Amino acid sequence: MKVTLSVIKADIGGYVGHSSSHPEILDTAKNILEEAKTKRAIFDYCVLNCGDDLELIITHRKGVENSEIHNLAWTVFVEGTRVAKKLKLYGAGQDLLSDSFAGTVRGMGPGFAEMEFEERKSEPVVVFMADKTSPGAWNLPLFRIFADPFNTAGLVIDPTMRKGFIFQVLDVMEDRLYTLACPEDMYDLLALIGAVGRYVIKSVYKKGTNDIVAVASTQKLSLMAGKYVGKDDPVLIVRSQSGFPAIGEILEPFSTPHLVEGWMRGSHHGPLMPVSFSQATPTRFDGPPRVIAAGFQICEGMLVGPRDLFDDPSFDEARRMANQIATYMRRHGPFEPHRLSLADMEYTTLPEVLRLIFEEIKFEIPRKVEFEEKFKEKYKFLRDVRVVVAEGITFDKVLKVIAKEGANYFEKIAKDGMKIGVGCGRSIGNLITNLTPKMFSNLKIYPLSVTPTLEAVEYSSNVLVGHMAAKYPDSLAFNLPSVPVANVKEYEEKYLINPEAKKIYEESQDVDIFLVGIGAVEFKTPGFAHIAHLYEGVSPEELRKKGVLAEINFFPLYKDGKPLTEAKTADKTLRQLAQRIVGVSLQRLKEMAKRSDKYVIAVSGGVEKVEAIKTALKGEYFNVLITDVGVAERILED
């Protein structure tokens, strides 16, 4: 007969801490499943626990991912959570990421492994259940069971197994499934499954017959919840004997307690210790990670068992070895390789700690405080000044040091949910590069300048908005149409007739923090100088002779610090050309800089930009300046 074996688990409350499950929760689960069995909704069931995980082993005839079966399991977890809350158990309901059932438990927090098969003359299966680890914990044992002849003698001496097995490997980050066969794809398989945090063996089939032989849970709680809410604690089903690996071959990989990720707070590597049901109570540093093996004979859908397969003195040496490894790893304390690498810690609580570190004890770049005070005395409109020490190095390195200080300053004043305006230019690009990923949430990021050419500009506002959004994945990033126009009025009539575009444009005029650069008149960064040469054939040298000495977000500044469009003594053709620039105008920046609730931060430096920065200071278009000692000395001496 055809039968479905479903193993569905969830952590709905620990007793005590994360060490075990309370007997009342286990009894609740048994009562609900017994009622379902009485009503013939299922064939049979077994309720176990591994650590603080409630494990439901159910047989039925409804197939995998059946809504009725998953709803039954969900009901068990919900009722168990009520018990856990009543008893004030730790982490009550922590694996339940949804308030209501949605057809199956997929994506809702609980883990599951299921397979449907035709019962053989004898149908032995092993259900592995682990605590304090992740789905990648099964990669090494599954490889050894189904592909390693040094572990599984049947691959060599059993004629029904010599063709090998087919592995389905899931990329849990990209949700892609790869199919590889052994022995011919062995090296490719190892290339994937050695990266246990990303590539996870989902299922194994017998080559030739395509019979399902093993299936593992692959759900990662952190990817479902977007943050650390507990370790995944996977389950695994393996069929045995008669053309499949023998029970002893299935258990043998666990005689060497391999290192897995998980353990304390899901943040450490530790040995996977094979234990009996009664020893599945991880307490040492909330571990080490445990695995139990429940053996069953399935007979006409009924579960004959369980046999506690690791309750065997032959695994005493593995347990002793696991304790030795645990002691060795624990002596590393917070150091890798005991603690997971930073990439693997992304979904643990570490990012929040790093955020606090960066907020409270951010690395300080050496500064000339006396220059900063003199600057504020000379330019009283400046709310704040940062003068960094970057002497005796190249222009590019000066820019990077200034940008680093700009990033530090931004991270000190920014708050979750703020509106951020992003200008253009290399300095702002470098600033964004130095931002700490995921430090802020729910930001709204707007472009301050609309590039008025059809050429791709590496440091345009639209491009840099995207770069900043990549730092803060849950932020909202907005772009505006970027096309040449004769003037702002034409832009409004052609491109802001779209209500959504108009709304973005209007909101960009009134953000909380404006990030702008001050550009010299040159070809290095495509700006107004580029436009003047493109449309009028005017070189940067000629522009400077005509009194155009600086630009902010492509908007050109005349030598008296006024916008070129307002400089009546300036070249008429150039003034008309300046009307092509679209974005947050210089006049608007000036208005915002006068407000105490707004930050207009200008990031610019290098002695090549002294003239440009002096010109911009005349116009008072910002209230915070971040520059370097070389610039400060020359401006203060003037």
Establish whether 558 is a catalytic residue: no
Alpha carbon separation from 273 to 101, 324, 545, 593 (Å, rounded): 34, 11, 78, 62
Tokens 């569905």: give the residue: 8
How high does pLDDT run on average in the chain?
91
- Burial of 85-102, coded b for 16+ CB within 10 Å and e otherwise, reads eeeebbbbbbbbbeeebe
pLDDT digits (tens, 9 = 90+) for 287-297: 999 999 999 99
> Mean pLDDT lowest for which of 52-66, 385-399, 489-503, 569-583?
385-399
pLDDT digits (tens, 9 = 90+) for 451-487: 776 665 668 899 999 999 999 989 999 999 888 888 8
CB atoms within 10 A of CB 236: 24
Mean pLDDT of 493-509: 93
Q: How confident is the model at residue 222 (pLDDT cuts 50, 70, 90)?
A: very low
Q: Give me the pLDDT at residue 181, please.
A: 95
Q: How confident is the model at residue 104 (pLDDT cuts 50, 70, 90)?
A: confident
Q: Compare 493 and 530 and report the one with higher pLDDT.
A: 493
Q: Give me the pLDDT at residue 359, please.
A: 53
Among the listed residues 563, 585, 583, the one whose alpha carbon sits nearest the alpha carbon of residue 574: 563
pLDDT digits (tens, 9 = 90+) for 57-89: 999 999 999 999 999 999 999 999 999 999 999
What is the phi/psi pair of residue 111, to 5°? -100, 155
Measured in whole angstroms, how far is the alpha carbon of residue 19 from the centre of its chain?
28
**Tokens linked to 280:** 């599945």
Q: How confident is the model at residue 137 (pLDDT cuts 50, 70, 90)?
A: very high
**Tokens linked to 325:** 């490894």
Rounded CA-CA distance 269/286 in Å is 12
Establish whether 228 is a catalytic residue: yes
DSSP state of 620: T
> Mean pLDDT lowest for which of 58-67, 239-248, 431-440?
431-440
pLDDT exceeds 90 at position 176: no
Establish whether 62 is a catalytic residue: no
* Residue in 11, 185, 308, 628 annotated catalytic: 11
pLDDT digits (tens, 9 = 90+) for 296-319: 999 999 999 999 999 999 999 999
* Residue in 202, 206, 220, 231 annotated catalytic: 231
pLDDT digits (tens, 9 = 90+) for 357-399: 555 545 567 889 999 999 999 999 999 999 998 765 677 788 8
pLDDT digits (tens, 9 = 90+) for 328-358: 999 999 999 999 987 777 666 666 666 665 5
Q: Give me the pLDDT at residue 445, please.
A: 97
Q: Compare 219 and 230 and report the one with higher pLDDT.
A: 219
Among the listed residues 116, 369, 377, 138, the one whose alpha carbon sits nearest the alpha carbon of residue 260: 138
Amino acid (one-letter) located at 534: L
pLDDT exceeds 50 at position 585: yes
> Mean pLDDT lowest for which of 19-28, 81-90, 124-133, 478-487?
478-487
Q: Give me the pLDDT at residue 391, please.
A: 60
Q: Give me the pLDDT at residue 227, please.
A: 44
Question: Pairing between strand 624-628 and 599-603?
Answer: parallel
State what percent of residues in the chain have pLDDT above 90.
75
Q: Which residues make Cβ contacts (< 8 Å) with residue 364, sequence separation at least 6?
A: 408
Q: Give me the pLDDT at residue 357, please.
A: 58
Q: CB–CB of 282/51 below 8 Å?
A: yes
* Residue in 15, 45, 199, 228 annotated catalytic: 228
pLDDT exceeds 70 at position 185: yes
Q: How confident is the model at residue 534 (pLDDT cuts 50, 70, 90)?
A: confident
Q: Give me the pLDDT at residue 105, please.
A: 83
Total H helices, total E strands in the chain: 21, 26
Q: Give me the pLDDT at residue 304, please.
A: 98
Q: Give me the pLDDT at residue 249, please.
A: 98
Rounded CA-CA distance 291/129 in Å is 6
